[in-house]
């Protein structure tokens, strides 16, 4: 954390400007050249003009020279902007690219993290870190000309003052050393405060994100005032810390100003004393140059203090974002697939446990099963028996689970992670986004309308789309769009199936639990027909679907207690027999209740 912010930020800009680094070198050189021209030539031209007026006055004889001097000033400004303007355009364009690449790197890394990590980290906090870090990198990379300009001006001022008198250059260097010490000494205390303020902002974002994301529940419970009071308290919480940073900053500014004023007064006093003692005539042009460069150095002191303060804030925000990147891991998106001609996958010795969202312990014990190409497999069992957990492990959502895995007899050392790009899981709970129907199905990716329509039909959501005001382009929250629970689940199913279109193994975690029986059977018929060559494993809770599957695995308390076809399990598996009878009794009770409601 003690690393100087300037090399840190230049390093980040360089790192996330791949393919554009030659332009970076070019515009840095152009900034150096532009500032050197302006700071050396402009004051000298003005001093020349002042000396001309002092010595010759403003007469018809001196007028042509004065006109020339004015033209020189214009030429200097044109030359400055001839380099500085194009360099600024290149810098701003590169800043956009650097910010975009940095944000992509963070988002890609976050999306590649395990679900377990996401469960332990608040989405609002993560979003805030990504956005603040990206904005900080752009803030620096689009204004990197400022430190370059300051450095050039500093060198030129010291050289020019030394040309007037070596003592003046030495005094200036001493002053700058004192200013640098003051700034760094104060920032030693300010940097941890900025870090804490960033964390406070992250926590505020968490509260706002939670409240807006759950606004329906808050309004229904009439809890608006209580929630707002809690958010307000968290917003006001960092005030004391912010006040301390403001006080320290102003003390720092006042000390820098005082040192600058003392330096200017000391050098001018020495110059006047020397001139008076030598009996020489004071040249107004020389006085102007001294005061111009001294004033410039004094301004540089303020500029350095302000800029360094901003650099520290930018650096702190980027480091705050890079807390995330410490968790990132290298991943390949292409080669973790099944062989094109695979036939059978064998899973054995799967033991795994974790804490569920409700605080209960979920576990699998000595799980073994086989997946064959084109096979339809059902997982059945009571809620909490391990079906969904087994599907999630198969999808590699818990990579710490390491079963023994073979593909066509060949051992796969890393387990499911090595074939993870060939497997997709369609979850049970429909996650609906506040966007259009199209974006809900495609997740913003580019798909032809034909592909969207195909999988909407498979999920029996096509009829729903046709009834909407704007079809696929209807927004979820617009007037006339009122989806039922079953329709929302079919929308989410269409999305999941579209994502599964090129997968070898498709996992279905009761994706039709809220769909009526007649639609559910038709949906499964269509899924099995569309994905004939893929292996399909589905967690099933409704018995009328079981005849569709070749093999059934019965789960109980995290173990597989039965395997076989439907007829085989009914004949020989006591656990399945009890489960079958219980489900039939429940179905009969539900039919009687629906009949009574109909009456």
DSSP 280: P
User: Boundaries of CATH 3.40.50.300 in the chain?
Assistant: 344-432+485-598
Cross-strand bridge partners of residue 379: 539, 553
Q: What is the 3-state secondary structure (H, E, C) of 113-139?
A: CCHHHHHHCCHHHHHHHHHHHHHHHHH
User: Which part of the chain is CATH 1.20.1560.10?
Assistant: 5-325
Residue 413: pLDDT over 90: no
Indicate the pLDDT class of residue 168, thresholds 50, 70 and 90.
Answer: confident
CB distance 548 to 525 below 8 Å: yes
Q: Which long-range contacts (CB under 8 A, 24 or more apart) does 46-49 make?
A: 46/73, 46/288, 46/292, 47/285, 47/286, 47/288, 47/289, 48/285, 49/73
CB atoms within 10 A of CB 12: 21
| C-alpha count within 13 angstroms, C-beta hemisphere, residue 165 | 17
Q: What pLDDT was estimated at residue 155?
A: 81
> Of all helices (H) and strands (E), which one includes residue 321?
helix 284-325
- Residue 478: per-residue pLDDT: 62
Terminal-to-terminal C-alpha distance of the chain: 74
Whole-number mean pLDDT of the chain? 83
pLDDT tens-digit series, residues 172-195: 888 878 887 887 788 788 878 888
Q: Map residue 371 onto helix, strand or coil.
A: strand
Range from 168-177, 189-198, 211-220, 410-419 carrying the lowest mean pLDDT: 211-220
Task: With beta carbons less than 8 A apart as the criterion, state whether 564 and 572 touch.
Answer: yes
- Is residue 505 a contact partner of residue 535, using CB atoms and an 8 Å limit? yes
Contact yes or no for 391/371 (Cβ under 8 A) = no
Q: Is the pLDDT of residue 258 over 60?
A: yes
Rounded distance between C-alpha atoms, residue 232 and residue 135, angstroms: 25
pLDDT at 544: 86
- Mean pLDDT along residues 539-563: 91
**Range in 150-159, 523-532, 561-570 the model is least confident about:** 150-159
CA–CA distance, 517 with 527 (Å, rounded to integer) = 15
Cα(201)–Cα(148) distance, integer angstroms: 31
Buried b (16+ CB within 10 A) or exposed e, 167-198: ebbebbeebbebbeebbeebbeebbebbbebb
Q: Note the maximum CA span of the chain.
A: 122
Statement: residue 333 has pLDDT above 50 = no
- Mean pLDDT of the region 142-152: 83
Kindly indicate whether the domain formed by 344-432+485-598 is annotated with CATH number 3.40.50.300. Answer: yes
DSSP string, 438-469: HHHHHTT----HHHHHHHHHHTT-HHHHHHST
487/490 Cα distance (integer angstroms): 5
- What's the pTM value of the predicted model, to 2 decimals? 0.63
Among the residue ranges 226-230, 403-407, 464-468, 519-523, the one predicted with the least confidence is 226-230
Residues 6+ positions from 123 with CB-CB distance below 8 Å = 209
288-316 average pLDDT score: 76
Work out whether strand 344-355 and strand 404-407 pair parallel, antiparallel, or are unpaired: antiparallel
The answer to whether 497 and 458 are in contact (CB under 8 A) is: yes
Q: Fill in the DSSP letter of residue 436.
A: B
Q: How many CA atoms lie within 13 A of 320 on its CB side?
A: 32
Exposed / middle / buried, residue 338 (Cβ in 10 Å: 0-12, 13-18, 19+) = buried
Residue 310: name the closest of 189, 134, 191, 199 by CA.
191
Query: CATH assignment of 5-325, given 3.40.50.800, 2.60.40.3880, 3.40.140.10, 1.20.1560.10?
Result: 1.20.1560.10
Number of helices followed by number of strands (H, E) in the chain: 19, 10
Collapse the DSSP code of 346 into the 3-class scheme (helix H, G, I; strand E, B; otherwise coil) and give the result. strand
**Which one has a higher pLDDT value, 283 or 393?**
393
Integer Cα distance of 30 and 23 in angstroms: 10
pLDDT surpassing 70 at residue 115: no
Residues in the chain: 599
66 and 49 in contact (C-beta within 8 Å)?
yes
């Amino acid at each position: 954390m003690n690393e100087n912010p300037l090399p840190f930020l230049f390093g980040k800009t360089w790192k996330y400007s791949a393919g554009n680094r030659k332009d970076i070198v070019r515009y840095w050189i152009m900034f150096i050249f532009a500032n050197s021209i302006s700071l050396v030539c402009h004051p000298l031209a003005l001093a020349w003009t002042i000396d001309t007026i002092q010595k010759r006055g403003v007469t018809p004889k001196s007028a042509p020279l004065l006109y020339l001097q004015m033209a020189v000033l214009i030429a200097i400004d044109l030359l400055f902007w001839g380099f500085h303007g194009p360099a600024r355009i290149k810098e701003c364009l590169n800043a956009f690219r650097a910010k975009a690449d940095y944000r992509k790197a963070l988002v890609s890394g976050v999306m590649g993290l395990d679900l377990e990590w996401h469960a332990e980290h608040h989405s609002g906090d993560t979003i805030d870190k990504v956005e603040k870090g990206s904005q900080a990198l752009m803030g620096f990379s689009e204004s990197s000309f400022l430190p370059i300009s300051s450095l050039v001006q500093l060198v030129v001022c010291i050289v020019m003052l030394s040309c007037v008198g070596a003592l003046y250059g030495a005094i200036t260097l001493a002053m700058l050393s004192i200013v640098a010490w003051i700034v760094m000494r104060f920032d030693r205390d300010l940097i941890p405060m900025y870090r804490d303020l960033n964390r406070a902002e992250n926590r505020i974002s968490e509260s706002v994100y939670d409240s807006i994301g759950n606004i329906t529940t808050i309004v229904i419970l009439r809890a608006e005032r209580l929630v707002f009071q809690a958010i307000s308290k968290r917003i006001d919480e960092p005030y004391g810390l912010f006040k301390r940073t403001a006080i320290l900053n102003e003390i720092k500014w006042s000390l820098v100003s005082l040192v600058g004023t003392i330096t200017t007064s000391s050098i001018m006093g020495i110059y006047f004393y020397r001139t008076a003692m030598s009996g020489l005539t004071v040249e107004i042009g020389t006085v102007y140059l001294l005061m111009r460069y001294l004033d410039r150095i004094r301004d540089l002191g303020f500029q350095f203090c302000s800029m360094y303060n901003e650099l520290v804030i930018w650096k702190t925000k980027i480091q705050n974002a890079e807390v995330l990147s410490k968790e990132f891991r290298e991943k390949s998106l292409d080669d973790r697939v099944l062989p094109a001609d695979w036939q059978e996958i064998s899973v054995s010795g799967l033991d795994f446990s974790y804490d569920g969202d409700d605080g209960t312990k979920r576990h699998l014990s000595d799980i073994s099963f086989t997946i064959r190409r084109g096979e339809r497999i059902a997982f059945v069992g009571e809620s909490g028996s391990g079906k969904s957990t087994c599907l999630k492990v198969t999808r590699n959502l818990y990579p710490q689970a390491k079963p023994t895995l073979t593909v066509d007899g060949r051992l796969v050392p890393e387990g499911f992670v090595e074939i993870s790009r060939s497997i997709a899981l369609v979850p049970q709970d429909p996650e609906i986004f506040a966007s259009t129907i199209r974006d809900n199905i495609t997740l913003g990716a580019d798909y032809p309308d034909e592909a969207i329509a195909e999988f909407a039909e498979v999920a029996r959501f096509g009829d729903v789309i046709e009834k909407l005001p704007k079809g696929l382009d209807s927004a979820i929250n617009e007037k006339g769009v009122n989806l039922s629970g079953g329709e929302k689940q079919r929308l989410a199913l269409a999305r999941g199936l579209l994502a599964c279109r090129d997968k070898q193994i498709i996992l279905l975690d009761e994706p039709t639990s809220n769909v009526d029986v007649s639609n559910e059977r038709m949906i499964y018929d269509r899924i099995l027909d569309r994905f004939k060559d893929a292996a399909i494993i589905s967690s099933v809770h409704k018995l009328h679907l079981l005849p569709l599957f070749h093999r059934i695995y019965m789960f109980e308390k995290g173990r597989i207690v039965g395997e076989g076809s439907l007829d085989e399990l009914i004949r020989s598996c006591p656990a399945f027999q009890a489960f079958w009878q219980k489900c039939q009794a429940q179905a009969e009770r539900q039919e009687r209740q629906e009949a009574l409601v109909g009456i």
